[in-house]
Structure 1
Amino acid sequence: MTVKLPFSKIDSQEFLEAAQLDLLERLEAASQQTGKGKARKRNYRFWSNSGKMEPDEQGREITGWKFNEWDYGKPKITLASQARGLFTRDNKIVVRGYDKFFNIGEVATTKWDWIENNVRGPFEVTQKENGCILFFSGLEDGTLLVCSKHSTGPINSADKSESPEVESRDEASSQDLSELNMSSASRDKDGNRSHSFAGLLHIKRHLKAKNLTLKDLALTLHELNATAVAELCDDEFEEHVLAYTAEEAGIYLHGLNLNTPTFSTYPSPRVREFAEVFGMRHVKTLDFESITDLKEFLALCDETGQYESRDIEGFVVRGKTADSSADFFFKYKFDEPYLMYRGWREVTRKLINKGRAEVHVTKHVHITNQYLDFVEPILAANPARADLFLNGHGIIGLRDEFLSYLGKSGKELSLQEELENLTLGDQVQNIVILPIATIGCGKTTLSLALNSLFGWHHIQSDNIKGTGVGRKMVQECCRIIRDGEKEKRSQVIILDRNNSNLIERKQLFDEFDKLKCNPTFVCMSFVDGDDQEREKLARDRVLKRGENHQSIKVETMGVTSVDRIMRDRCKRMQGINKTKEPDSRFDIVIECAVSADVTWQNLETVATEMKQQYEWTVVKLPSQKEYDDAFSAALGYTPTLNNLRKAQKLKPQYVAVSVNGVNEVLSTVDSPFLAQLKRDGRIQEEFHVTLAHVAEKKKNNYHKLLSDYVATLQPNLNAGVNAIENVKFQIHVPRAIWNGRVLALEVDRVQGPQDQALLSSIDHTSLDKYLHITIGTAEETIRPMESGPMVQKWLEGEREGMEAVDLDVMLDGHLSAYV
């Protein structure tokens, strides 16, 4: 039955069909996009409310919509919805999370000066619990939908034969839920853990205490046309960073969102009342009328990283926009000791998976190395404990052992480190600035101007002759650093190279590691704005430059050749992702604008950010005249070295189908090994099916046939990937296969342009009996070529130590030559 609530329902015009259909149309259009703003669409069979870990008995589905995390909050990117956690059914929203909101100072609209001018109180401040987010809502028949951020339901709902029975009926009375082990009860027969099912179990536990059922909760939420938003905090199920005792574990309700396209939510007092009615926990809330009082409170808590003598992650602040009275959220997260704890968790995972030599510590260096010295022998002596750690257990216990060993709290350690850092003015510090850019974005002009203003070293790739340019740049950089250390001199060095893709960045970091040179790395990212706009701007600048470039000479090479080079360089651009190696090596990222006439603006941005983060690098910010003079001098730069190389005929090492849509497929595969690969940054950046490799040319003539075909379409190949996008393919992927070392997608059918003369003689189905797409390997020492033999063994029935999940999907691709 619908439960009577102590507050009235909020109605909205956006519940009406027209508003809902308008959103669906925008979502569908976004799902057809490529690049920025693309929506990823996937259907999910949701959980049965029967108590068994199996899908809904009627086979019903909901559709989930997901956007790239880095697309949120970008003024130049329009998303169909700002919601994180969005599910639809029958052309209307059934689950709706919050609009994406940001930490204080993270984006322009969360800087204090903007908030003070554009957001009004009263301000509701809620404690940020440290668990995993859940959404739950109800269907008209009383079925409760429980979703994690982007998914719900079984991983492979087709197989019900071994679904573990948790409870035999809807009412939580036939089994004592308080005695359930949440970690085991929320895993399927393959050991895959489900956050949404764990949430369902916890909800039942809370409802039982109030003599209520899932149906009661579902019908009440359906009547409100709202989604309950909560945090699942349970260390028995999965530890995060901050500890929760068994008494503190449960569902912490913190939101009731209307299922409307425009974000709208119930005020915190109503959320608290709803939680109390259904026996759930609710987050603590404080109210502040003025922004002055709010700032004073947050600053006071920030000093200790605690609230009411308990470590917390931070707060969520809720207000209203001054112009439209729309709900406005922002986070105020405490840096310490939370970030230090999280850092220890991540380096421990890397220590277990890759060994100490592969652990790169960039924050809290001294104390984190002490921590590693402490935990490394413990985990080496107890592999079972290491396995538990990787599965989310024992994280807090191991950390507490270390803190007990030192006899200090986490906050005491971070304060001690802050005091030690105050003496860094007497110590040698070295900062290396690496751009992430394409040709013509203004990075060299900016670098030259910074050199002129502050005397920072400038090493330009185009001034280095021969091969191994990246290695030579790092060698010169390390020489400067070591010379400076002899004189106890701190330095800033700009390595002026594009570094546009992850491979190039990793190569540079690896070279620094080989030379045992460990500066602080800063990124100048020129990835702002629209891809096409950036490519057009770069082209216009390069053409205007004419012969005034070491390696791209417009008059010598011709506009057509320059255009091809520019397109290739722009396609290779891979933006910064600081959560994943190698980009996690950067201490900070400085975002530089990419549009006409902004180099002066970027100059000021870099100077200001460097002074704020590393005060010794910029003693005094320049005057406008000093900025102007440095900028003018940089614009007058003329290259002294001509790096134009004699063209050479390159031949492909292998010919392949570059495949689109692989990441979308991977989002449907919920395996611990895939999660490990994602966490450790071991997923490949591009995906392909090799059709013919030069190493096999003695066995068959496919490599020659395909190479000749490529030569007719693209006579002059470049080093790297040469995309031939007008030659289309379709491939069929029946399943994903993994063995703990490598994960691959099996390919059993390749459909190509058989009507083309040079390809008509090739039987694509017999190019290789074991076609596949390598997804990733567990370690750098494991070669991707292991995928082929693994797929072969699976198909021949030798499946010991392997797992697989059926996919049955068709993917599109195009021909590519890899030189």
Structure 2
Amino acid sequence: MSTNAPSYDPSSAKEDSDLIDSLVQLSQKSPKLVKGTEAAVPGCEEITVRSWKMNEFKYYDIPSPFPTLARGLFTTETRTDGEEEEEVKHRIVWEALKEHTAAPYVLSLKSNGCIIFIAAITPTKLIVTSKHSVGTGDETVSHALMGRKWLTMYLEQRERTEADMAAVLWKNRWTAVAELCDDSFEEHVLPYAPEKTGLHLHGINVSTKSFQTLPTSAVDAFADEWGFIKTATLVLPTIEEVQSFTSEAGETGAWNGEAVEGFVVRTHVTEPPTEQKTGGAGTTHLSTNLSPYKPGSSFFFKVKFDEPYMMYRDWREVTRSLLSIKAKGGTMSASALPKKKMKRAETQAYVQWVIEDIERNPELFSEYAKGKGIIATRERYLKYLEENGGVGEAAAETVEEAVEMGDTREFGKTVIAPVAIPGCALAYLFGWGHTQSDNIQVKKAAPMFIKNVVNLVHDYDVVIADKNNHLKQHRQSLRSALAEFPQSSLPIRLIALNWDVHSHPPALVHRMCSERIRNRGARHQTLIPDLIGAKSYHEEVIWKFLNEAEELSRDEVDYIVEMDVLEDTVSRETMEDVEEPESGMLRQIRKAVEGVCAILEMDVPSDERLRGAVEHVRRYEDELGLRSSSKSTKYATGSSNSGSGKKNKKSAVRPHVTLVHQNQLKDLPPEGRGTRNAKALWDACTEVHELENSPQFEGRLGWLVWNERVMAVTFDDVGLSTPPLPDDDRNDEHEHEPASTKVLSLINDDKALKSRLHVTIGTRDWSVPPVEAKTLVEEWRRRGEKEGLDVEAERKIWAVRLGGGGVKGVYDRRKENEKLREERNDVRAEIEELRRQVETLRKAVREIGDKSASPGPTETKFAGSPCDGIITQSLPVPTRRVGKGDIVGFGLNGVTILRTSLMPRTTKLAVPDFGYIAGGWRTDKHVRLVGDTTGDGLSDIIGFTHGDFGLISGWSVGKHIRYVVDLRKKGYVDIIGFGDEGVLVSLNNGDGTYAPPRLVLNDFGFNAGGWRLDRHLRFLADVNGDGIPDIVAFGEKRVFVALGNGDGTFAAPRTVLDRDFTYSGFGWRVDVHPRTLGDLTGDGRADIIGFANAGVYVALNNGDGTFQKHKLVVKDFGAVAGGWRVEKHPRFVADVNGDGRGDIVGFGDAGVYVAIGNGDGTFQAPKLVISNFGYNAGGWRVDKHPRFVVDLTGDGAADIIGFGQDAVWVSYNDGKGNFGYVQQFTEEFSYNRGWGTSNTVRWIANL
């Protein structure tokens, strides 16, 4: 191809390398901002590429936080192989385009498909990617692989090879950018004729940091040479002509007789424009409307058409939503759909038709979710319309039906709830009841807010529930509370003032909200802008709000008044006849008032009254600001820049270092030196605080110090750390020096002050005052700053030096451990002697029984039953079927235990290690289990850190499984792990030590077999009745069993089920469909139980480790049958009635459900047995509140124990499957006591 197109300039190599370095550094510093993912190149697996994905919302920031504005960026260790600069996704007003861009404007047809990148990875090999995928995902045929398929076909048609194209792309450092349009692979919205099916070549970019793209003439020439479909283009000389042309095309929805989605316009950025200001000085200055792009750089923007493309897309999306509702067992209706999608009357008519079509012809929608049948469904509807008068007629009928039906419901009282943006002046205008969530200053504000609303409804006919209400949960809580209102014969009307934040680009809404908060300043109860700090907390709050906001559906409320979140952003030029400070709020209030008055059939107040409401709101905000500023400073502080730590029950909301507190001015004697120093320091700090350019101070975090009540970090080496000022402020750069120097001098001269400086991390609970951190630090200093544990202090004090690497042990236990080891050896010797005596007695009894030949009693089934040893990934610490379960908790400060059978019940810190703080153990890195390692019948602690089966050996919680289990019937546990290369076993030497790991099975591993935690399950259970654990593994398409040999090795895996219970077999998903093992028949052999969409499936054991075909036994407990969710509803198999056969126990929304096993693999109908421990019944959450079904009393029937928000709760089983009332067991181990699932572990084990 002959062209004058730009090619790669070798002089830019350093710039490109610097780009990659900056991306790597940024991803390490701010992984939420930039993330790089590596993948092997298909067909060239020895080479890996890294896909860079940036935080979408941050593309809008000016200046940009990214080193490049590219999206779809791939790099290798030595070069950049692909880079695509897509347009920023938000509407840009034509005036801004005219201001910032220049001719020529090249319009290209916007294709309706999926993006494909093609580049050379070597001089002879190509890489084909789609967005961030290289085509090695879970899909059978991914977008990238389909793109390669089309490319291969083009090369064959041109009698060219992959190496031929690679040579051209490699030489010029080009990346070809195409759109995959193939309805046979995946339908989008607009159909493509056969001659238009394939790869549409859009552009060719040079792979450099700065965005360089080839002209359309070069792109077309490349398409002709290699067989791509050319993209139609048009060149226009002015932005006005672009606007005119696209407006005309938008009216018809077509260009050159072809339906189009829109156009991509290529242009370039101009120099920043200037503005002429006449009158006064008449100066010329640069525009403040800056662009994030460099002058002269290429710039793309797109013009998308609403009709018919956006309407067709709405039809596709509402159809998907309806199918999803149907799949979940819900009722398909228009009211259940997002309101934004239902604005068009045409779409309302389509929804009525498609609901009926889904009910009539469900088979036509079987692959709709996979992108098949979208166009055919629309064509059927359009044909139906042709036979019934067309789209307009159907829409008109829909509107007429709605008008004729009207709203004949009768209501009593009314509640008005803002949705998304709070704030309302209606209470002032009409004297209605009003409660505002921001005024509630209690710990649990949400229930109090609902309570306030209900209380006001007693006294007012109309109440304003002033809160964001941006989550469905908020609206549902309000709706439910009003439905239960006891004193209303008529239902309460719920009106939503809906600020639809989803109708505008997120960046635009964020910028508008942020500016409002900044302009408002301190005139708010809680959300006050941080105008000094480097990070704006309020901006993070807004992003969180925008990300979490859920669209309002019509069935959530009775009436909706639509508001516009951008109403008060109208430019000054369009509002010259209105008082500018009030115009935006006035329009918002007018719209709300008119909408509400129409619903309530009230007269709209006069303009004078509306303006009075604006003044009332302004006065109210000013009062809030005065209230905020009038609060006297209680203490002078320096900001702590330490990262936020993991929270206990109560953590410091904003870490700080207290220099002086006002209480010090009144608590000391009037003439004391301490008083004079405190007063001088207070005055100096006040002077610094009042400076316009106040300085910042810095210091060093020294020691982490804590006791059982409070935790703090010492703060040392205080100094000045004021950043450089802007050039315009250089004249004032020394104004703070006298005051700041005085503060430093007073600090350094006061040894007592220096010794107590600290950052309070948190307290045990709300009853502990943070000031105890000061006392703790002072006592620790006074006692000599001991490292480790100081047991002689009034309260034990732990201390760890920060910055000196990891701390494993916090005090020297060598002598103590040696003494314990000697005592333990003595005990073991005594136990061994007792074992010999017991074996002698057993032998004598057997001999007597043989001689008498009389039938003796049946053998008792003790705790060593084979079915006791079942181990699953969710329950790796099994408990005995008959035994007293105890609590073992790996907490912040170490291992805490509670013996359930001992009275009084007391918790005990058994080991000051294995904890989040005491030892640095992390749930995402370090597995901690419990098992008998010495055969003495007592459970020991096993933790995996850095050695064998640990981090240094390459073991990861996200990839590998580790269990401890008795593989040889020795009475003590061995270690078994599913690693990269397969199954590894470390045998117990009999004394609690272990032999080095050895590979016993070259399967079931991450690399050996491709086993993945998010797709495949691996359990241990006895499936053939020999008392030895076997491996049961749920693979991609089959279930495998590897029988244990009794010596720590396993037989070769064999297939026991084909497709049943597997990922690709019948679509079983780890995050949707739990599977477990349990003895359902009482034969001592594990059966398979799975919770699928339709309910519970069971595969019974044949007695030899093989299984029968699975069958549906309960039409409940499933994702669809009952709406059970892994993230909400734990399900277990346990014996609850003491018959030795497994039953199902499920923790649902309303509480605990039990289905008693019949002993043949079937179950009785589920019954609600406890109205607690549920998602709604008690507010139990999987990510906060573990629940277990285990025998706590030793009667052989499983009880229920749950670790709740404020306590551990228990419901005891009477042995027949009847559960008693839920009673508090202990307050320790609860969420409020600092036991969260993110940094602590709790197990039930037989101690």
When normalised by structure 1's length, the TM-score is: 0.61
Unaligned runs of 5+ in 1: 49-55, 105-109, 157-186, 437-442, 485-492, 553-565, 595-599, 641-647, 652-687, 712-722, 748-769, 771-776, 794-811
In the alignment, what sits opposite 1:375?
Answer: 354
RMSD of the alignment, in Å?
6.0
Trace 1:733-744 onto structure 2 (pairs within 5 A): 733-734=958-959, 735-737=1013-1015, 743-744=1070-1071
Higher mean displacement: 281-290 or 309-318 = 309-318
Q: Is the 8 A contact 2:890 2:896 kept in 1?
A: no
Write out per-residue CA displacement over residues 274-299 of structure 1, whole angstroms, 9 at most, x where no aligned residue: 11111111221111101111111111
In the alignment, what sits opposite 1:341?
Answer: 312
When normalised by structure 2's length, the TM-score is: 0.42
Q: CA deviation at 1:319?
A: 1.1
Distance change >3 Å, CA 528–CA 327, structure 1 → 2: closer
Write out per-residue CA displacement over residues 358-391 of structure 1, whole angstroms, 9 at most, x where no aligned residue: 7324133544343233223433344443221111
Q: Is the 8 A contact 1:134 1:147 kept in 2?
A: yes
1:390 aligns with 2:364: no
Q: Is the 8 A contact 1:431 1:521 kept in 2?
A: no
In the alignment, what sits opposite 2:174?
Answer: 226
In the alignment, what sits opposite 1:40?
Answer: 35
User: Between Structure 1 and Structure 2, how many residues are aligned?
Assistant: 617
In the alignment, what sits opposite 1:25?
Answer: 21
Distance change >3 Å, CA 570–CA 227, structure 1 → 2: closer
The 2-side partners of 1:529 and 1:690 are apart by 48
In the alignment, what sits opposite 2:671?
Answer: none
Letter in 2 for 1:85: G
Q: Secondary structure at the match of 1:346?
A: helix
Identity %: 25
The 2-side partners of 1:357 and 1:90 are apart by 53
The 1-side partners of 2:47 and 2:473 are apart by 43
Distance change >3 Å, CA 572–CA 150, structure 1 → 2: same
Q: Secondary structure at the match of 2:383?
A: helix
Q: Is the 8 A contact 2:348 2:398 kept in 1?
A: no
In the alignment, what sits opposite 1:149?
Answer: 131
> Quick one: which of 321, 331, 337 aligns to 1:360?
337
In the alignment, what sits opposite 1:112?
Answer: 94
The 1-side partners of 2:297 and 2:540 are apart by 39
Q: Is the 8 A contact 1:42 1:63 kept in 2?
A: yes
Letter in 2 for 1:19: E
Q: Is the 8 A contact 2:87 2:301 kept in 1?
A: no
The 1-side partners of 2:186 and 2:305 are apart by 22
The 1-side partners of 2:373 and 2:453 are apart by 40
The 2-side partners of 1:396 and 1:480 are apart by 55
Distance change >3 Å, CA 459–CA 216, structure 1 → 2: farther
Letter in 2 for 1:115: L
Higher CA-based Rg? 2
Q: Is the 8 A contact 1:500 1:572 kept in 2?
A: no
Unaligned runs of 5+ in 2: 272-294, 409-414, 485-491, 528-535, 570-578, 597-603, 628-763, 768-872, 898-915, 926-956, 960-1012, 1017-1062, 1075-1088, 1090-1117, 1135-1141, 1143-1235, 1243-1247
In the alignment, what sits opposite 1:657?
Answer: none
Distance change >3 Å, CA 506–CA 790, structure 1 → 2: same
1:238 aligns with 2:186: yes
Q: Is the 8 A contact 1:88 1:94 kept in 2?
A: yes
Q: CA deviation at 1:229?
A: 0.9
Q: CA deviation at 1:626?
A: 9.9
Q: Secondary structure at the match of 1:784?
A: coil
In the alignment, what sits opposite 2:165?
Answer: 217
Name which structure has the greater RCO, CA cutoff 8 Å, separation 6+: 1
In the alignment, what sits opposite 2:954?
Answer: none
In the alignment, what sits opposite 2:419?
Answer: 434
Q: Is the 8 A contact 1:506 1:582 kept in 2?
A: no
In the alignment, what sits opposite 2:778?
Answer: none
Q: CA deviation at 1:524?
A: 6.1
Trace 1:497-512 onto structure 2 (pairs within 5 A): 497-498=467-468, 504=474
Letter in 1 for 2:202: H
Q: CA deviation at 1:268?
A: 1.9
Write out per-residue CA displacement over residues 162-190 of structure 1, whole angstroms, 9 at most, x where no aligned residue: xxxxxxxxxxxxxxxxxxxxxxxxx63xx
Q: Is the 8 A contact 1:15 1:259 kept in 2?
A: no
In the alignment, what sits opposite 2:199?
Answer: 251
Q: Secondary structure at the match of 2:565?
A: strand
Q: Is the 8 A contact 1:728 1:813 kept in 2?
A: no
> Quick one: which of 111, 119, 123 aligns to 2:105?
123
Q: Is the 8 A contact 2:42 2:134 kept in 1?
A: yes
Q: Is the 8 A contact 2:200 2:228 kept in 1?
A: yes
Distance change >3 Å, CA 458–CA 313, structure 1 → 2: farther
1:318 aligns with 2:271: no
In the alignment, what sits opposite 2:384?
Answer: 405
1:783 aligns with 2:1135: no
Q: CA deviation at 1:310?
A: 2.9
In the alignment, what sits opposite 2:53?
Answer: 66
Higher mean displacement: 609-618 or 112-121 = 609-618
Write out per-residue CA displacement over residues 588-645 of structure 1, whole angstroms, 9 at most, x where no aligned residue: 8837999xxxxx99986677799999998999999999978853453236999xxxxx
In the alignment, what sits opposite 2:219?
Answer: 271
In the alignment, what sits opposite 1:167?
Answer: none
The 2-side partners of 1:476 and 1:357 are apart by 34
Distance change >3 Å, CA 268–CA 516, structure 1 → 2: farther
Q: Is the 8 A contact 1:103 1:332 kept in 2?
A: no
Trace 1:160-559 onto structure 2 (pairs within 5 A): 188=140, 193-323=141-271, 324-355=295-326, 357=331, 359-362=336-339, 363-365=341-343, 366-407=345-386, 433-435=418-420, 447-448=423-424, 460-461=436-437, 468=447, 496-498=466-468, 504=474, 521-523=498-500
Q: Is the 8 A contact 1:233 1:249 kept in 2?
A: yes
Letter in 2 for 1:405: Y
Letter in 2 for 1:296: S
Letter in 2 for 1:364: M
In the alignment, what sits opposite 1:51?
Answer: none
The 2-side partners of 1:403 and 1:475 are apart by 49
Higher mean displacement: 499-508 or 384-393 = 499-508
Write out per-residue CA displacement over residues 15-64 of structure 1, whole angstroms, 9 at most, x where no aligned residue: 6321111101111012113476x21111111222xxxxxxx3x5321111
Q: CA deviation at 1:395?
A: 0.6
The 2-side partners of 1:524 and 1:477 are apart by 29
Q: Is the 8 A contact 1:229 1:256 kept in 2?
A: yes
In the alignment, what sits opposite 2:995?
Answer: none
The 2-side partners of 1:14 and 1:612 are apart by 60
Q: CA deviation at 1:215?
A: 2.2
Q: Is the 8 A contact 2:346 2:391 kept in 1?
A: no
Write out per-residue CA displacement over residues 540-570 of structure 1, whole angstroms, 9 at most, x where no aligned residue: 999x78xx95x99xxxxxxxxxxxxx99998
Distance change >3 Å, CA 710–CA 782, structure 1 → 2: same
The 1-side partners of 2:121 and 2:890 are apart by 59
Q: Secondary structure at the match of 1:243?
A: coil
Q: Secondary structure at the match of 1:59?
A: strand
Distance change >3 Å, CA 540–CA 432, structure 1 → 2: closer
Q: Secondary structure at the match of 1:16?
A: helix
The 2-side partners of 1:273 and 1:332 are apart by 26
The 1-side partners of 2:29 and 2:1073 are apart by 27
Letter in 2 for 1:346: E
In the alignment, what sits opposite 2:119?
Answer: 137
Q: CA deviation at 1:272?
A: 1.6
Q: CA deviation at 1:357?
A: 3.6
Q: CA deviation at 1:576?
A: 1.8
Write out per-residue CA displacement over residues 281-323 of structure 1, whole angstroms, 9 at most, x where no aligned residue: 1221111101111111111122222223332211111111111
In the alignment, what sits opposite 2:886?
Answer: 700
